Structure 1
Amino acid sequence: MGNRSRPAQSKVDSAPENDREPVLAQLLAGLDVLPMQRIVLAHDARLRLSKAALAFIETAKAWFASHDVFTA
């Protein structure tokens, strides 16, 4: 079988400006992130999550809604 080579084109370069999913996919594939970070990134990219991961997201949303953590 022959080696078929195509010009290298980054998925990030070819993505629309407001589309972050390719960037997140690269982060998820290339970095050794903590499981909680992986859940947050997957949720932000609107990827399919397990029920446990969705429960983590909902718990975090509820906690941040009840705590004023971003005030100076």
Structure 2
Amino acid sequence: MSTMNISLPDSLKDYVDQQVTGRGYGTSSEYIRELIRRDRDREHLRSLLLEGAASAETSPVDAGYFEKLRNQARRQG
């Protein structure tokens, strides 16, 4: 694992310390890693949403569509 040092103003350092204590993280590094993972996941979700928004239009998803999916799952299961 690599090491990265960051500088924070006292107010942010105090906030991180409060989060570590109050939310059950073992260290400030665990808290920061969690924030980075969440940000990465949010960016991934955003890219998927944008990709979907830019994709070609499909037929409507209605009750019949879901019934067809259920039937396919039953046949495979």
Do they superpose with TM above 0.5? no
Higher relative contact order (CA 8 A, sep 6+): 1
Instruction: Name the TM tier (shorter chain).
Output: under 0.3
TM-score, structure 2 as length reference: 0.24
TM-score, structure 1 as length reference: 0.25
